[in-house]
Amino acid sequence: MPQNTVGKLDATTVPTPTKSPPLLRSVVFLLLSAGALLIFIALLGDWRREHNILAQVEAHAAEYATRMSEGGVVPLNLELNVSRDPKSRLMDAWLSPDEARMLRGADRRILAAWTVPMPRVLGADGRGVIFFELGRFNVEWVPLHQFDVLLAGQNAEVKRISSPPT
């Protein structure tokens, strides 16, 4: 007599757990790839902006080097022939002749000129800075918080030198 097998399960008919649907895996992969691409684009944009700004500031540092005397002291005239139009302004400030005169004998790095603050998508915003040290002009990217500390120290040094001893 034939046996009725309807409703009976044996080891060969047990359903196996299914893997995650291919659509879900594709969506997750797509989102991760898009996120990685956006981060890469932001990093590349930050790097290019910083690189281009420093290249422009290097040209100003080279101009400063032509103004330096044989003694290797900071020139008194650090004014740059640059646009003062707020829309196209890159260089923000530079030492005045009085400040340059006072800091000529300083045994520290001198902030000679700097750019407007430059925003970054990832990382700290900063400025391109021209330093004068040991008879040479050097260009560096300086984060804003570090720049503020350096400028405050330099301003304190100028104030200390300019005030008469009591």
Q: What is the pLDDT of residues 126-136, one digit of tens each?
A: 999 999 988 89
pLDDT of residue 14 exceeding 60: no
Q: DSSP letters along 100-114, please? A: HHHHTT-SS-EEEEE
143 sits in which H/E element: strand 136-143
For residue 11, is it within any domain? no
For residue 115, is it within any domain? yes
The pTM for the full model equals: 0.76
Mean pLDDT, rounded, for 143-147: 96
For residue 31, is it within any domain? yes
For residue 73, is it within any domain? yes
Buried-exposed string 76-93: b where 16+ CB fall within 10 A, e elsewhere: bebebeeeeeeeeebbee
For residue 45, is it within any domain? yes
Domain count, the chain: 1
Q: Which domain holds residue 36?
A: 20-162
Q: What is the pLDDT of residue 34?
A: 95
For residue 29, is it within any domain? yes
For residue 7, is it within any domain? no
